[in-house]
């Protein structure tokens, strides 16, 4: 058993290969947090909770002034019953009060992991790989239960948490806050790591010492957003890529979220994560339940690299689903930066022929193929082919491309509607909006109201009609604005603040139906790039367009930051033209290729404008990537030199059996009187001998890791270097 329970003490010990997580029920039913960290064989209470009278910390039992919820480490804290810190939940009763008192009632343990109703989550293929503990809290006065779910992947050192609220009484309750996880640490000696950014500048890394008070990252945009990611980690001072304690939290959700760290007056630290309570309520009627999203929690003493590889392995194998989970992903070319809206069938076929000649496997037709879409002001929602551009329709174009030996993919933005569209003229009430208020436009478009069943059915039918009649094997699913004027004409006044969450539930239901109906289609999520790159979307779409910014030097940081949580196989990474369309930089084609090879390789340029020499470089890039695609997409990823800290970057991929490695080094700007650099690799077997495929040189794994290789001095900006090593069998 990975979950050990002392029934007399009501003590729960979740024990992984290298991790322990300990809780206990104390003093009339309060569930407290005792320990999370490096694995221990047995918990015998060495870190006892000290109860003492603290000024301004009131007491649930007036006869015991030493006991206050304000000063003890809790598992799922409430507000109003002596704890003044951030609560994990808040319920409003019919009388208007928000004071509740949930105490331990019972628990159960079972092998496996239940699905979360209507929500994505990690899963088990075999019940034996996961063990789940459910702890039920009850407030008998209102007859409501809170089910705290802890699923332990013992071999992976992962704990997932979620919460379900069951209203078994007769009151009409209102959930004001329903977070998925809360952890109380008994010290504040941590640094906080979060991911922030903007459109074209996603997944920057912020790291700072935590301070007294509340530090928060969140989104109230209706999407997880490029501005703050639903991820947070506490690390000890000095923690780096390879060593140091990490406590990480990642929310499997694509909508409004909050992640908060609070240091109280006594230097205790509380971390909470879940649906953003801002502009959120949920009516919980009699016999109804509400399920929160899942938080994936990872502890490691092996630094940020150790944390990342735990997330990568879990998300590759137990979050992503479907036949593409275990398949090598195709090398694609997208016509967007080559043509934008200005194309016809012959132009697309010409581009496809050039792509086929260099080894590209999939051609993706981007925005502009439907309605009267000559710019971004019109036609979203009208998923009917534009016969001016494609007079013989999509099947003709798809077959032209397939006859070249390539697959065909298509761009959609199904969640949106243009005011200048037949759909809007027919159903103006189908968009997210507040009656009698003017619209706030984003990219000249509105968001469809996915809280409405008929809208979801329209999207499923519109996309299905295309996928059923055109030989398509890839869909790029875009989403190019965030939620404003939040309201739904289909919801009553008392449910208006449910709109944003119901939208996400509607989106998930659409994706569940479409991905089940078309399992042969590889869906890639996109939101103006990485605007909705989160674990929730990966459950339905096993890869995401990492950023609209295709500049290779910018991508060093974007892909590095994204890799903190998400594996390279989930990252779309393309080679684009120069000067780069986002920042105007001119970067060598070789460097652009090496950066893009660190994810799912693709191209986003007009191949017909390249020179013969440049096409030959592209052809060699594609051939090289095909040789090592399995290594890149399914191997272990190691970050070596951090571009956020240095004028350079380096990373590597090592096969699971440590017999193969691919590595890249990048220098941003050439420096005068520069030092001669030595690069030390990671993750190799110290007892193996490795051969440099290009030079034939032989080196020990220990030598490559501890001594390193000398980098050739090259006077060049935006330099990229690349190596491949394989195990050499020495007889």
Q: Which residues are catalytic?
A: 478, 548
Mapping DSSP to helix (H, G, I), strand (E, B) and coil, where does residue 426 land?
Answer: helix
**256 with 249: CB under 8 angstroms?**
no
Radius of gyration of the chain (CA): 27
Q: What is the 3-state secondary structure (H, E, C) of 504-558?
A: HHHHHHHHHHHHHHCCCCEEEECECCECCCCHHHHCCCCEEECCCCCCHHHHHHH
Q: With CA atoms as reference, report the closest residue to 409 among 468, 332, 517.
A: 332
User: How far is Cα 330 from Cα 349, in angstroms, rounded to an integer?
Assistant: 19
| 3-class DSSP assignment, residue 45 | coil
Is it true that the peptide bond before 579 is cis, omega within 30 degrees of 0? yes
Taken in order 691, 694, 697, 699, the sign of the CA dihedral is negative
What single string gives the DSSP state of each residue in 50-82? PP---TT---SSTT-TT--TTSS-BSS--SSSS
Spatial separation of the C-alpha atoms in residues 469 and 394, rounded to whole Å: 9
Tokens read off for 2: 């990975």
CB 377 within 8 A of CB 350: no
Tokens of 436: 């009698």
CA distance 361 to 365: 14
Between the CA of residue 263 and those of 188, 272, 297, what are the distances in Å? 7, 12, 20
What is the per-residue burial (b if ≥16 Cβ within 10 Å, else e) of 183-220?
Answer: bbbbebebbbbbbbbebbbbbbbeeeebeeeebbbbbb
Helix (H, G, I), strand (E, B) or coil at 608: helix
Query: What 3-state DSSP class applies to 453?
Result: helix
Q: What is the 3-class SS of 172-226, one letter each residue?
A: CEEEEEEEEEEEEECCCCCEEEEEEEECCEEEEEEEEECCCEEEEEEECCCCCCC
Distance CA 428, CA 455 (A): 12
Query: By the 8 A CB rule, do 381 and 417 touch?
Result: yes
For residue 635, the number of C-alpha atoms closer than 13 Å in the C-beta half-sphere is 24
Residue 131: partners with Cβ closer than 8 Å, 6 or more residues away:
1, 2, 3, 109, 110, 111, 112, 151, 152, 154
């Amino acid at each position: 058993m990975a979950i050990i329970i002392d029934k007399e003490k009501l003590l729960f010990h979740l024990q992984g290969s290298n991790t322990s997580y300990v809780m206990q029920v104390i003093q009339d039913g309060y569930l407290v947090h005792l320990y999370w960290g490096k694995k221990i064989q047995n918990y015998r209470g060495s870190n006892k909770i000290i109860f003492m009278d603290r000024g301004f910390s009131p007491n649930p039992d007036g006869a015991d002034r030493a006991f206050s919820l304000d000063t003890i480490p809790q598992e799922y804290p409430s507000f109003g019953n002596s704890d003044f810190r951030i609560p994990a939940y808040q319920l409003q009763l019919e009388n208007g009060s928000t004071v509740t008192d949930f105490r331990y009632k019972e628990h159960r343990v079972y092998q496996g992991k239940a699905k979360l109703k209507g929500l994505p989550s990690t899963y088990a293929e075999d019940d034996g790989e996961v063990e789940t503990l459910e702890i039920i809290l009850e407030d008998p006065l209102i007859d409501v239960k809170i089910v705290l779910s802890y699923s332990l992947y013992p071999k992976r050192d992962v704990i997932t948490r979620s919460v379900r609220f069951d209203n078994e009484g007769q009151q009409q309750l209102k959930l004001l806050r329903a977070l998925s996880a809360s952890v109380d640490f008994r010290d504040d000696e941590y640094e906080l790591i979060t991911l922030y950014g903007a459109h074209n500048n996603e997944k920057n890394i912020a790291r700072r010492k935590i301070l007294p008070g509340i530090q928060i990252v969140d989104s109230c945009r209706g999407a997880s957003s490029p501005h703050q990611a639903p991820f947070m980690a506490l690390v000890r001072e000095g923690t780096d890529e390879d060593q140091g304690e990490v406590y990480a939290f990642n929310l499997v959700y694509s909508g409004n979220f909050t992640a908060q760290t609070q240091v109280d007056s006594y230097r205790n630290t509380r971390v909470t994560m879940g649906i953003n309570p801002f502009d959120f309520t949920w009516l919980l009627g009699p016999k109804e339940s509400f399920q929160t999203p899942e938080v994936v929690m990872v502890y490691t003493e092996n630094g940020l690299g150790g944390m990342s590889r735990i997330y990568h392995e879990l998300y590759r194998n137990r979050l992503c689903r479907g036949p593409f989970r275990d398949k090598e992903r195709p090398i694609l070319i997208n016509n967007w930066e080559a043509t934008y809206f200005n194309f016809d069938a012959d132009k697309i076929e010409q581009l496809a022929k050039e792509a086929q000649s260099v080894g590209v496997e999939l051609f993706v037709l981007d925005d502009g193929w439907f309605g009267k879409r000559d710019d971004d002001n019109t036609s979203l929602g009208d998923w009917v082919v534009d016969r001016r551009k494609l007079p013989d329709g999509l099947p003709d174009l798809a077959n032209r491309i397939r006859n070249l030996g390539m697959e065909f993919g298509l761009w959609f933005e199904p969640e949106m509607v243009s005011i200048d569209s037949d759909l809007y003229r027919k159903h103006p009430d189908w968009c997210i909006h507040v009656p009698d208020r003017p619209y706030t436009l984003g990219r000249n478009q509105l968001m469809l109201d996915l809280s409405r069943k008929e809208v979801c059915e329209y999207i499923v039918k519109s996309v299905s009609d295309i996928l059923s009649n055109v030989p398509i094997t890839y869909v790029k699913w875009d989403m190019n604005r965030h939620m404003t004027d939040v309201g739904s004409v289909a919801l009553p006044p008392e449910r208006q603040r449910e709109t944003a969450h119901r939208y996400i539930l509607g989106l998930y239901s659409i994706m569940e139906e479409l991905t089940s109906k078309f399992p042969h289609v590889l869906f890639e999520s996109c939101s103006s790039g990485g605007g909705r790159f989160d674990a929730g979307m990966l459950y339905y779409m096993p890869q995401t367009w990492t950023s609209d910014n295709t500049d290779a030097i910018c991508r060093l940081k974007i892909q590095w930051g994204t890799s903190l949580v998400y594996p390279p196989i989930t990252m779309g990474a393309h080679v684009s033209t120069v000067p780069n369309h986002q920042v105007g930089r001119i970067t060598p084609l070789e460097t652009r290729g090496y950066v893009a090879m660190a994810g799912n390789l693709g191209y986003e340029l007009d191949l017909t404008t390249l020179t013969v020499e440049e096409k030959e470089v592209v052809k060699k890039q594609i051939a090289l990537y095909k040789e090592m695609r399995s290594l890149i997409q399914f191997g272990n990823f190691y970050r070596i030199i951090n571009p956020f800290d240095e004028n350079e970057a380096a990373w590597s991929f090592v096969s699971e059996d440590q017999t193969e490695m691919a590595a890249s080094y990048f220098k941003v700007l050439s420096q005068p009187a520069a030092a001669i650099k030595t690069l030390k690799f990671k993750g190799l077997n110290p007892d193996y001998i490795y051969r440099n495929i290009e030079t034939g040189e032989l080196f020990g794994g220990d030598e490559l890791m501890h001594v390193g290789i000398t980098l050739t001095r090259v006077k060049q900006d935006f330099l990229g270097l690349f190596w491949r090593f394989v195990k050499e069998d020495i007889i």
